[in-house]
Amino acid sequence: MSVNVLEAYRLRTLSDLTYTQIGQLQGVHPTTVQRALQSFVESLPTADQLKSYEEAKGDLLNATTQRLLASLADPDVLAKANLRDRAVTFGIVFDKHRLQTAQSTSNISVLSKIISQADSGLFKSSTPQPVVDRAVSAESTVSENE
């Protein structure tokens, strides 16, 4: 059986359990827990590494985006992709382009047209129409019938 490292880390840091206690909970030897957690902690970035990553994240994402887009246009990759995969990829790239250029990614124009038509029809009458509150109207009908 192997160590659930994330759970073991939480138990060790948040619940202050010993390696023995964690090993008993997970059905492994305490030394196995200790080694797994030591390896896990050593793989975590330092504070300086995290700061450097945060400072370079935009550049890293841009470089990754460029590589992925280049791979999508690769003729060999396209030849291997089925029609559905190419259509889905096109839709995603198209939507991301619209987001990048501050355009809508959903069909807002249909909703806008409906709202415009409704709005223009509301104010065609030159005579103001009374607004009737149904709750008030129902109360007055009850009062009149008493």
Q: What's the confidence (pLDDT) of residue 53? A: 93
pLDDT, the chain, mean? 82
pLDDT for 119 equals 65
Residues 51 and 81 in one domain: yes
Q: Is residue 100 a part of any domain in this protein?
A: yes
pLDDT reported for residue 83: 85
- Which amino acid is residue 37, in one-letter code? L
Per DSSP, the residues of 12-23 read: HHTS---HHHHH
Residue 136 lies inside a defined structural domain of this protein: no
Residues 53 and 100 in one domain: yes
Residue range 35-76, pLDDT digits in tens:
999 999 999 999 999 999 999 998 998 898 888 888 888 888
- In the chain, the number of structural domains is 2
Q: Tokens standing for 33?
A: 């827990």
Q: Is residue 132 part of a domain?
A: no
Kindly indicate the confidence band of residue 123, based on its pLDDT and cuts at 50, 70 and 90.
low
**Of 70, 87, 105, at which residue does a domain stop?**
105
Which of 26-30, 57-61, 71-75, 98-102 is predicted with the least confidence, judged by mean pLDDT?
98-102
Residue 23 scores a pLDDT above 80: yes
Task: Determine the pLDDT at residue 133.
Answer: 57
To the nearest 10°, report the CA torsion of 30, 36, 42, 46.
-90
Please report whether residue 122 resides in a domain. no
> Two tokens at 87?
């259509």
Q: Which domain holds residue 85?
A: 47-105
